[in-house]
Amino acid sequence: MKALFLNGPNLNLLGTREPGIYGRTTLADIEKAVSIQAKTTKTTVVFRQSNLEGELVTWIQKAKSERFGVIILNAGGYTHTSVAIRDAIKASGTPTIEIHLSNVNAREEFRKHSMIAPVCVGSICGFGAGSYTLGLEAALSLK
């Protein structure tokens, strides 16, 4: 199975960005941990990050033709605003799992609403970097 991990805006800053909320683990550290986990499960993982909404939309659109069986998506701030990402997930035909490092339900009111949750298979939040490894586990459970 091929799994596509997509990361939205500001997630390139993990490690130094609000460490009290997001921890000190970098996105590269997370990618390393997930890649080790993937090896033991014969899964290929590809990590991408963009601060641009349209680039995320294009990657979601192409996921099927790139032969990804699943998308694990941390859309960052676009989670709460993006009709375009929601529409892309719906159109993609690729099962998508929503993930967040922080517990978005325990933060500001505006983070409690996810534009993408209704078009995702399910959501994982609040486990820090562990949300990514749990995301892969959830992806494997879909088979």
Catalytic residues: 22, 100
Residues near ligand DQA (CB under 6 A) are 10, 74, 76-77, 79, 100-102, 104, 111
In the complex, the smallest distance separating the C-beta of residue 14 from ligand DQA, rounded to whole angstroms, is 9
How many Cα atoms are found within 13 Å in the side-chain-facing hemisphere of 53?
12
Classify the C-alpha dihedral 94-29-101-111 as positive or negative.
negative
Helix, strand or coil, per DSSP, at residue 15: coil
Amino acid at 123: S
In the complex, the smallest distance separating the C-beta of residue 42 from ligand DQA, rounded to whole angstroms, is 27
**Contact (CB, 8 A) for 138 and 124:** yes
CA 22 – CA 88 distance, rounded (Å): 27
The smaller minimum CB distance to ligand DQA, of residues 74 and 133, is found at 74
* Distance, CA of 117 to chain centre: 12
In the complex, the smallest distance separating the C-beta of residue 100 from ligand DQA, rounded to whole angstroms, is 4
The smaller minimum CB distance to ligand DQA, of residues 41 and 117, is found at 117
The smaller minimum CB distance to ligand DQA, of residues 74 and 96, is found at 74
